[in-house]
A and B are shown apart, each in its own frame.
Chain A
Amino acid sequence: MAVTEENLPSPRQERPIGFGRLKRKEDARFIRGQGTYLDDIRLPGMLHGALLRSPYAHARIVSIDTSEALALPGVAAVVTAKDLETLGLAWMPTISYDTQAVLAGDKVRFQGQEVAFVIAETEYIARDALGLIDVEYEPLDAVVDARRALHEDAPLIRDDKEGQVDNVASPTWEAGDQEATDRAFAEADVVVSRDMIYPRCHPAPLETCGMIADFNPETGQLDIYNGNQAPNVHRTVYAHVAGLAEHMIRIRCNDIGGGFGNKVPVYPGYVCAIAGSIVAGVPVKWIEDRTENLVSTGFARDYIMRGEMCAKDGRITGLRVDVIADHGAFDSTAQPTKFPAGFFHICCGSYDLQAAHVKVKAVYTNKAPGGVAYRCSFRITEAVYLVERMVNALALEMGADQIDLRMRSFIAPEQFPYETTTGWTFDSGNYAETMKVAMEIAGYDDLLREQADKRERGELMGIGVSFFTEGVGAGPRKHMDILGLSMNDGADLRVHPSGKAMVSISAQTQGQGHETTFAQIVAEELGLPPEDIEVRHGDTDRTPYGLGTYGSRSTPVSGAAVGVVSRKVRDRARLIAATMLETRPEDLAWEKGRWYVRGDPEQGAMIEEIARYAYSGEPMPEGMEGGLDAQVIYDPPNLTYPYGAYIAVVDIDPDTAQVTVRRFIAVDDCGVRINPMIVEGQIHGGLAEGIGIALMEVITFDAEGNCLNSSFMDYLIPTALEVPEFELGETVTPCPHHPLGAKGVGESPNVGSPPAIVNAVIDALHQTHGVTHVDMPCTPARVWAAMQGRPEPPQ
C-alpha cells in the first residue's frame, strides 16, 4: 500500500518526519479484515461461556437448580455464587471502593445482573443451557428513581453492606465556598435556576466486552485476552482479587473495537471467565451480546442536577449546583480522583466567577452499575452540560446574546494560570479568540438574520453555543490514583543497530491511532522516519507499567512519556556522537535526525549512524555502556486543559417536532496537534456521539426496573443520516507543562456538543413557544411536549 504523507521534510533529507497528516500505519490490517479482535482468537481446547441474567430488578434468590443444564450434552460446568464463594470470588472490589457481586447469591439488584455462568463446548450450547437453569425468585419492590431511593420507605438495596441503612451511596460532598457564593447571589442583578437531567446513556462500542481466560494448572500461569483500556491496572486487580502472583498473569489486548470508557471497568463476566478456566482447566471464552452490553456494563451520566447562576453588571458572577448522582446497584463509577464526584466541580466553566458552590450526593438504585466516563474525564461532561445550559438560561433572562454574555465573562488570557473558585488550576487559554474563530466560520451575524427571516415565515431554526474547558490527562498524584496506584505512564524506547526503533507504551489504543501518533512523536524528536518506528502496546508482559487510555490521557500522559524518553535517547546519542566525532558534547548542535559540530555543520552523525556505532564495540564515552535505549515513567504535574467553542444550528419541524442538526461548527484548542488528521477524526467521532446523546440515546426503565433500551432497536445510535458535515476550526495554545505542548482532545467533542445542541433547540422554540427548558434526549415526543408547555424529563 502506498503510504502518503503531507508534512514538512526534515532539514537534511526529502523524507517526511514527525508531526503532520501522516496516514495511519494500523489501517493496513483493518482494511483487509485482518485485525485481531477478541472473538477472532481461538485457542486449542477452548470452551465457551454464557451468563444467565436476572429478569428482575430487585428480587431475593430462593433457589438455583442447575441440574438440567448440567445434563445437557456439551455442557462442562455451571458456576453459581456458591461455587465462587469457595474460590473467594463471589464479590469483587470496584475502582470506587465499593464491592460488586460477581454472581448474585443473596438477591439480584438490577435487571440483567449476573446469576449463573455456563461453560460449554460451543456458544450455541452454552446459551441453550441458560434456559435450563431454574432460578426461583421472590420479587421485591424496585427503586429506579434516584429521588425516590432517598425516601425513608424506599426498600434497602444494599443490605449486603454492613451498617448500610439507606440507599445513600456516598454522602453529600461539597466543593467551593458556600458563603462567598451566597454573597455573590445576594449582590446579583439577575438570578436564574434550572432543574435538568443528564440522562443515563451508554458508550456502546461496536465490539462488545468479553474475555478469553487461559489458566494453566501446571504452571499457574494465567493468560488473559481481553480488550480493555487499562491492561496493567486490570492485571493488578486480578492479582489482588484472585490471589495470584502478578507476574504470572499476562493480559493481551490485541485490537479493540472501540472503548469510549465502556472497557475501563472489570466486569463480572471477566471474573467468571477466569474462574471458569481455573475450574475447567482449559481456556474459556466469554463474549457478551449487545443486550448484555447495554443492560449490564458501564452506563454513563445519570445526574439529576439543579443549577442556579447569577450575574452582576452584565457578567456571570456566581454558580450554585446541587446534584443527585444515580450509581445504580453498585458504585462502580470509573473515576480515579479523591473526589466522590470526580471532576464535576470543574462546572464553573470557562468564566471568571466570583464564587461557586457544588454539592453532590450519590444514591443506589435498582439499575445497572457503572457511571463510566463515556468519552469524558470523570463527570466533566455533566459539569460542562450544566454550566453551558445555565449560561444560556441566564442570557435568556437578561435578554443578552449568548455569545456576548460569554465574551464578557471569560477568564482573560493574562489571568492564566488561573485558579478556579473550586480549586482547579487552568494552565493556559485565550478563550475569546477561539470563540471568534467559531463565529467567523459560522457566519454568526448572518445566522441571526437567517433565523429572524425564518421566524417570519413560521420556520423553527435555533442557534446554540457552548464553550467548554476540560481538564484531561489524569493526573497529578495529589488529586488522583487508582486503588493507590499513581496515574503515571511508562515508555521504553530502543533504537536498534539498524536505526529501526521500538517504543513500548502503557496506553492502549481502541481506535485512536496510537501506532501512528506515538511513532510520530519519536520521529519528531529523533528524526527517524515514522515507518521505521514500531509502537508496541496492549501486552502486560512486553510493555511498561502505566494506567492506560481513558479520559483523553493518552497524549497528555503517555505521549509526554514518549516525548521524554525520546529526548533521553537523543541526549545519550549526543554523548556517543561526541566520541564518534572526537569532540565535546557541548560543542554539538541538534537538527532533526543529526548531531553536528557547531560551526562546522558538515561534521556530524545521523541518528542511524550513532545507533550503529552504539552497538559496534567501538570506544564508548567514559562510563557509558553500549546500546541506544532508555526508559521513563512520566508523572503528570497537572492536567492539561483543552477548550473549545461550538456552535450548533438546528431546524425543528413545527408539525413533528423532529430536530435536525443542520450545521455544527467546532473550534478546538487542544494545543499542539501531533497528527491533525487523527485529531479531526476524533472530533468528528465525538461530535456524532454528542448528537446521539442530545437527540436520541437514552437508557430508561419502567417502574419495575425493566430496561426499555436494551438493543440497537431502541437504543438509537446516529447513522450517517443524522449527522451533518462538521465544520472544524482550530486555535493552538500550547500546554505550558506538556513536553510537546499537546493537550488531550478525544473527549472534547462529546463533552462540548450536547449543550450546544440543546441550547439551539431552546433557542428555536423560546420566542415562538415560550420554551425555556427541555431535557435530553430531544426526541420528537419530548420536544413536542415542551412546545405544548410540558417539558418532561426522561424516566
Chain B
Amino acid sequence: MQVTLTINGREVSRDVEPRQLLVHFIRDTPGLTGTHWGCDTSNCGACVVLMDGTPIKSCTTLAAMCVGHEIATVESLEVDGELDPIQQGFHEMHALHCGFCTPGMLMTTRALLNENPRPTDQEIRTAISGAICRCTGYQNIVAAVRWAAEHEAAFQQEI
C-alpha cells in the first residue's frame, strides 16, 4: 500500500506492506537511521519518536497508522546548525556512553520539557522510565534534562 507520512516536516511517500512498522519505515528513509530498535516487546524506548508532539514507540506502531500525522525524529532537533538545548545538555553532562539509547532518550525528554519546562528529578525519572539505558545508570541523563531546563528558562528570560 502507498503510505505518505510527514517526517521532520518533509513528506515521505512509499509503497509498503501494511504490516511495516513505523521504525522500519523511518529507518528506510535516507538519512534517518537515528531512530533505533532495541527489543521486541515495546520495553526499551530506543525507537521513540514524536507523533504530533507526543512520544510514541515506533516499533509498536504501523507506518500505515501514521498517515496524516506529523512524525519528528532525533534528526529534527538540530536547526540550522543550532543544537537543541537537550542535545547540548546530554553532551555537557555526559549523559551518553554508547549512544544507542540516546535518540529515544532525547525525544522522550524533549517532549517532557515541552510539556513541563521545570520538571523535578522524580518527574524526569518517571518520564524516562519507559526507556532503558544500559550504560549510564541514568544519573547523568537526569542531570542533562535539568541542564536543558535551566538553560531554556534562562533563554526565555532573556527574550
A binds B: yes
- Which residues of A does B touch, CB under 8 Å? 1-2, 4, 23-24, 26-35, 37, 39-40, 124, 204-208, 255-258, 260, 289-291, 510-513, 677-678, 680-689, 711-713, 717, 719-721, 723, 725-726
Question: Does B52 touch A at the CB level, under 8 Å?
Answer: no
**Which residues of chain B come closer than 8 Å to A512, judged between CB atoms?**
97
Quick one: CB contact mask for B80-95 with A, threshold 8 Å, 1 for yes? 0001000110111010
Known contacts A685-B137, A688-B138; A510/B38 CB under 8 A: no
Per a CB cutoff under 8 Å, which of A37, A680, A688 touches B36?
A37
Separation of A122 and B86 alpha carbons in the complex (Å):
36
Q: Could you tell me if A689 and B103 are in contact, using CB atoms closer than 8 angstroms? A: no
Separation of A72 and B71 alpha carbons in the complex (Å):
34
Q: Could you tell me if B78 and A206 are in contact, using CB atoms closer than 8 angstroms? A: no
Q: How many A-B residue pairs have CB under 8 A?
A: 174
Known contacts A1-B83, A1-B91, A290-B38; A30/B19 CB under 8 A: no
Interface CB pairs A-B, < 8 A, 6: A27-B99, A31-B87, A32-B34, A205-B134, A207-B100, A713-B43
Q: Could you tell me if B35 and A33 are in contact, using CB atoms closer than 8 angstroms? A: yes
Closest to B86 in A: A31
**Which residues of chain B come closer than 8 Å to A510, judged between CB atoms?**
98
**Which residues of chain B come closer than 8 Å to A678, judged between CB atoms?**
94
Q: Could you tell me if A32 and B94 are in contact, using CB atoms closer than 8 angstroms? A: no
Quick one: CB contact mask for B101-115 with A, threshold 8 Å, 1 for yes? 111001000000000
Separation of A29 and B87 alpha carbons in the complex (Å):
11
Per a CB cutoff under 8 Å, which of A34, A205, A726 touches B137?
A726
Separation of A721 and B142 alpha carbons in the complex (Å):
11
**Which residues of chain B come closer than 8 Å to A207, judged between CB atoms?**
36, 38, 98, 100
Per a CB cutoff under 8 Å, which of B40, B125, B142 touches A711?
B40
Known contacts A31-B87, A712-B39; A37/B129 CB under 8 A: no
Separation of A35 and B39 alpha carbons in the complex (Å):
19
Separation of A260 and B100 alpha carbons in the complex (Å):
14
**Which residues of chain A come closer than 8 Å to B98, judged between CB atoms?**
205-207, 255-258, 510-511
Separation of A26 and B101 alpha carbons in the complex (Å):
15
Separation of A405 and B90 alpha carbons in the complex (Å):
42
Q: Could you tell me if A124 and B19 are in contact, using CB atoms closer than 8 angstroms? A: yes
Question: Does B63 touch A at the CB level, under 8 Å?
Answer: no
Question: Does B149 touch A at the CB level, under 8 Å?
Answer: no
Per a CB cutoff under 8 Å, which of A206, A290, A711 touches B134?
A206
Q: Could you tell me if A31 and B96 are in contact, using CB atoms closer than 8 angstroms? A: yes
Per a CB cutoff under 8 Å, which of B33, B90, B125 touches A40?
B33
Question: Does B128 touch A at the CB level, under 8 Å?
Answer: yes
Q: Which of A1, A204, A206, A688 has the most CB of B within 10 A?
A: A206
**Which residues of chain A come closer than 8 Å to B87, judged between CB atoms?**
31-32
Question: Does B150 touch A at the CB level, under 8 Å?
Answer: no
**Which residues of chain B come closer than 8 Å to A291, judged between CB atoms?**
40
Q: Could you tell me if A689 and B134 are in contact, using CB atoms closer than 8 angstroms? A: yes
Per a CB cutoff under 8 Å, which of A23, A30, A513, A684 touches B102?
A30
**Which residues of chain A come closer than 8 Å to B39, judged between CB atoms?**
290, 711-712
List B34-55 residues whose CB lies under 8 Å from chain A.
34-41, 43-44, 46
**Which residues of chain A come closer than 8 Å to B97, judged between CB atoms?**
258, 511-513, 681-682, 685
Known contacts A260-B134, A677-B94, A685-B136; A712/B41 CB under 8 A: yes
User: Closest approach, in angstroms, between the C-beta of B116 and any C-beta of chain A?
Assistant: 16
Q: Could you tell me if A208 and B38 are in contact, using CB atoms closer than 8 angstroms? A: yes
Using C-beta atoms within 8 Å of the partner chain, give the interface range for chain B.
35 or more
**Which residues of chain A come closer than 8 Å to B91, judged between CB atoms?**
1, 23-24, 27-28, 31
**Which residues of chain B come closer than 8 Å to A27, judged between CB atoms?**
90-91, 96, 99
Separation of A384 and B88 alpha carbons in the complex (Å):
39
Q: Could you tell me if B36 and A719 are in contact, using CB atoms closer than 8 angstroms? A: no
Q: Could you tell me if A719 and B128 are in contact, using CB atoms closer than 8 angstroms? A: yes
Separation of A32 and B36 alpha carbons in the complex (Å):
13
Q: Which of B17, B39, B90, B99 has the most CB of A within 10 A?
A: B99
Closest to B89 in A: A31
Quick one: CB contact mask for B9-39 with A, threshold 8 Å, 1 for yes? 0000000010110000001000011111111
Separation of A683 and B136 alpha carbons in the complex (Å):
8
Q: Could you tell me if A290 and B132 are in contact, using CB atoms closer than 8 angstroms? A: no
Question: Does B74 touch A at the CB level, under 8 Å?
Answer: yes
User: Closest approach, in angstroms, between the C-beta of B109 and any C-beta of chain A?
Assistant: 11
**Which residues of chain A come closer than 8 Å to B141, judged between CB atoms?**
720
Known contacts A681-B97, A712-B43; A32/B78 CB under 8 A: yes
**Which residues of chain B come closer than 8 Å to A1, judged between CB atoms?**
83, 88, 91
Q: Could you tell me if B75 and A32 are in contact, using CB atoms closer than 8 angstroms? A: yes
Q: Which of A290, A512, A719 has the most CB of B within 10 A?
A: A719
Closest to B102 in A: A30
Per a CB cutoff under 8 Å, which of A684, A719, A723 touches B131?
A719
**Which residues of chain B come closer than 8 Å to A682, judged between CB atoms?**
97
Q: Could you tell me if A289 and B134 are in contact, using CB atoms closer than 8 angstroms? A: no
Question: Does B139 touch A at the CB level, under 8 Å?
Answer: yes
Separation of A712 and B40 alpha carbons in the complex (Å):
8
Separation of A121 and B118 alpha carbons in the complex (Å):
48
Separation of A388 and B136 alpha carbons in the complex (Å):
25
Separation of A683 and B135 alpha carbons in the complex (Å):
10
Question: Does B73 touch A at the CB level, under 8 Å?
Answer: yes
Separation of A685 and B78 alpha carbons in the complex (Å):
27
Q: Could you tell me if A712 and B44 are in contact, using CB atoms closer than 8 angstroms? A: yes
Known contacts A27-B90, A511-B97, A720-B125; A681/B136 CB under 8 A: yes
Question: Does B2 touch A at the CB level, under 8 Å?
Answer: no
- Ranked nearest first, the 4 interchain pairs of A and B with the lowest CB-CB distance are A33-B34, A511-B98, A30-B99, A257-B100
Separation of A194 and B131 alpha carbons in the complex (Å):
38
Known contacts A24-B91, A31-B96; A688/B137 CB under 8 A: yes
Q: Could you tell me if B94 and A124 are in contact, using CB atoms closer than 8 angstroms? A: no
**Which residues of chain A come closer than 8 Å to B46, judged between CB atoms?**
206
**Which residues of chain B come closer than 8 Å to A687, judged between CB atoms?**
137
Q: Could you tell me if A124 and B17 are in contact, using CB atoms closer than 8 angstroms? A: yes
**Which residues of chain B come closer than 8 Å to A717, judged between CB atoms?**
132, 134
**Which residues of chain A come closer than 8 Å to B134, judged between CB atoms?**
204-206, 258, 260, 685, 689, 717
Q: Which of A1, A33, A255 has the most CB of B within 10 A?
A: A33
User: Closest approach, in angstroms, between the C-beta of A53 and any C-beta of chain B?
Assistant: 14
**Which residues of chain A come closer than 8 Å to B17, judged between CB atoms?**
124
Q: Could you tell me if A206 and B100 are in contact, using CB atoms closer than 8 angstroms? A: yes
User: Closest approach, in angstroms, between the C-beta of B38 and any C-beta of chain A?
Assistant: 5
Closest to B104 in A: A206
Q: Could you tell me if B139 and A684 are in contact, using CB atoms closer than 8 angstroms? A: yes
Q: Could you tell me if A24 and B37 are in contact, using CB atoms closer than 8 angstroms? A: no
Separation of A677 and B93 alpha carbons in the complex (Å):
9
**Which residues of chain A come closer than 8 Å to B106, judged between CB atoms?**
31
Per a CB cutoff under 8 Å, which of A2, A680, A686, A720 touches B128?
A720
Per a CB cutoff under 8 Å, which of A24, A32, A677, A713 touches B41?
A713
Separation of A258 and B90 alpha carbons in the complex (Å):
18
Q: Could you tell me if A23 and B131 are in contact, using CB atoms closer than 8 angstroms? A: no
Q: Could you tell me if A31 and B132 are in contact, using CB atoms closer than 8 angstroms? A: no
Separation of A511 and B124 alpha carbons in the complex (Å):
23
Separation of A4 and B92 alpha carbons in the complex (Å):
8
Question: Does B6 touch A at the CB level, under 8 Å?
Answer: no
**Which residues of chain B come closer than 8 Å to A680, judged between CB atoms?**
94
Separation of A256 and B100 alpha carbons in the complex (Å):
8
Question: Does B157 touch A at the CB level, under 8 Å?
Answer: no
Question: Does B61 touch A at the CB level, under 8 Å?
Answer: no
